Structure 1
Amino acid sequence: MAVLSKPLPALYVVYVLRSTVRHASFYIGSTPHPPRRLNQHNGVAKGGAARTSRNSLRPWEMVAVVSGFPGKIAALKFEWALANPHLSLHIPSTARITVATQKKRNGHPKRPPYSLTSVISNLHLLLRVPSFLRWPLKLHFFNRDVHKAWLKWCSTANEPLRESMPIVTDFEPNAESRVVENLGSAAEGEEAATPPRPAWGIHALPLDYAPLREIVTKTESIFSFEREGSCVVCGEHLPTGEGVYAACTNTGCEGVGHVSCWSQHLLGPGATDEVLPISGHCPKCNGSLTWGEMMTEMTLRMHGRKEVEKLLKKPRKKRAPAKAAAK
């Protein structure tokens, strides 16, 4: 296993933009911060891309993202393949859906224009090709129409996605659900106070390691107090600080083992060609595990001490405002 100098990122996504003005216009990119990147594309913040700078197409909306990439380079590979499905070597020529029919002035194949069907179909294809099939990826949809197109394509696709591929939907709440009934609670002539709307879509995606706080708290206790014990898979004693160990991510379980042993256990006895696990069960607690979450915790523990300290730092208690001095 290669030694990483940094932990796996908390979030890095490949996103699909669609113009809210012209629904036939799409853009594909990658970022560790979707809300900020969307603001750049819409001219709210500096940055963005020349192809999204036309005011006639703004504002753009982020209709779908793929998350779970182990780093920037991995996300860029997927982004380029999705943006250039007619050229990408990650797609076997026999399985290619998008084919170039025109050439540029330099003689290179010209990328066919995007459409909702082409983006959806190539997204489905890339998530099941050998290059990306076993990555711990997750697909999110934030637009009902785009998700509907996805379901339609899935119903006719020749090959399905792997069963463990998470598909998440998070659509904008309907106007009716945002109406807060406050009958009789407001005084006559006063407007009822409306609570802030809950975050949804890209604004609800975790941009830091906060979702791992409980897991990191547990593993910090295990390794700080040298409770590694024996490998839960092979039974061999685990000397403190002398190996690369991964831990079960389930609450209450302190199962620890060699990374190689975990890998072989989660792959199962029938795996001969695969080297990267996807998911499985802990041999100690029998709880469900995902390889991506285990590796994120392990690399964070080993190569992200500042992030761990920040994650476990207790928030300061807010001081009560001083009472105004009596006149």
Structure 2
Amino acid sequence: MELFVHGFPSDVAALRFEWAWQHPNSSRCLLAPPIRRPREQPISFALRLLPRLLLAPPWSRLPLRIRWLRPPRPTLELAPPPHMVEEEGAGLPRLKRKKGRSQEVVEENWGCGLCGEAQATPLLRCPRPLCKMAAHPSCLARLFLAPEPLQLLPVGGACPRCHTHLLWGDLIRRCRGEEEPEEEWVEPDDVIIPSSAPT
């Protein structure tokens, strides 16, 4: 095993990615999949194919993470999208939910910082301690997608209050109450591993 790709919104999304990775010529996600070179090892081909898949819709906008298992990690032919995190380590972090997670109803004095309404919707909050920005996911998504009106899912954008660049996936994870402890690791459930068997 060389790496995991994780952070998919569902098991189905992870399975679709895995299928496209294992069957690049049959997948409709890659318009021009690379051709396997003569005598190229399957793992080398899979690593050459990986960034092309990560740059292709629908995965190019997801907040995915690539965890390399063994240093030194190989250099990819193309760089993955800049919002995707590359990590090193021997497993996946166990996501823990904070107690009293964000199912909190909007407090009386706290409404959306963008529309001003106090709906019973969990708010996305800026992670900076001094910034008090809170907004409905739909309001903040509209703001982040203003420069890209044809997209449905934002990658990130500037906090409307402190102007810090925020990644959409990190905001959603925080809102859901998920945090990654530094030392606790588990074997992954939705693991994508390139096959080392010849095709």
TM-score w.r.t. the length of structure 2 is 0.73
Q: Partner of 2:52: helix, strand, or coil?
A: helix
Residue in structure 1 matching 2:81, options 162, 174, 191: 162
Q: Partner of 2:9: helix, strand, or coil?
A: coil
Where does residue 190 of structure 2 map in the other structure? none
5 Å matches for 1:37-48? none
For the aligned residue pairs, the C-alpha RMSD in angstroms reads: 3.1
Q: Percent identity?
A: 25
| Residue segments in structure 1 that go unaligned for 5+ positions in a row | 1-16, 18-62, 100-112, 155-159, 171-199, 302-306, 309-327
| Residue segments in structure 2 that go unaligned for 5+ positions in a row | 180-199
Following the alignment from structure 1 to structure 2, what is the Cα–Cα distance between the partners of residues 66 and 287? 27
Following the alignment from structure 1 to structure 2, what is the Cα–Cα distance between the partners of residues 90 and 270? 24
Following the alignment from structure 2 to structure 1, what is the Cα–Cα distance between the partners of residues 139 and 162? 16
- Seen in structure 2, the aligned counterparts of structure 1 residues 135 and 120 have a Cα distance that, compared at 3 Å, is same
Q: What is the Cα deviation at residue 283 of structure 1?
A: 1.1
Superimposed CA distance per residue, residues 172-228 of structure 1 (whole angstroms, 9 cap, x where no aligned partner): xxxxxxxxxxxxxxxxxxxxxxxxxxxx421xx311226xx4xx77957xx468156
Following the alignment from structure 1 to structure 2, what is the Cα–Cα distance between the partners of residues 89 and 167? 26
Where does residue 25 of structure 1 map in the other structure? none
Instruction: In structure 2, give the amino acid aligned to 1:87.
Output: S
Higher helix share: 1
Where does residue 96 of structure 1 map in the other structure? 33
Q: What is the Cα deviation at residue 237 of structure 1?
A: 2.5
Q: What is the Cα deviation at residue 66 of structure 1?
A: 1.0
TM-score w.r.t. the length of structure 1 is 0.47
Where does residue 19 of structure 2 map in the other structure? 80
Q: Partner of 1:96: helix, strand, or coil?
A: coil
Q: Which has the higher contact order (CA 8 A, sep 6+)?
A: 2
Equivalences, count? 177
Retained in 2: the 8 A contact 1:219–1:247? no
5 Å matches for 1:104-253? 115-144=42-71, 147-148=73-74, 150-151=75-76, 153-154=77-78, 160-168=79-87, 170=88, 200-202=89-91, 205-209=92-96, 213=98, 223=104, 226=107, 229-234=110-115, 236-239=116-119, 241=120, 243=121, 245-253=123-131
Retained in 2: the 8 A contact 1:250–1:289? no
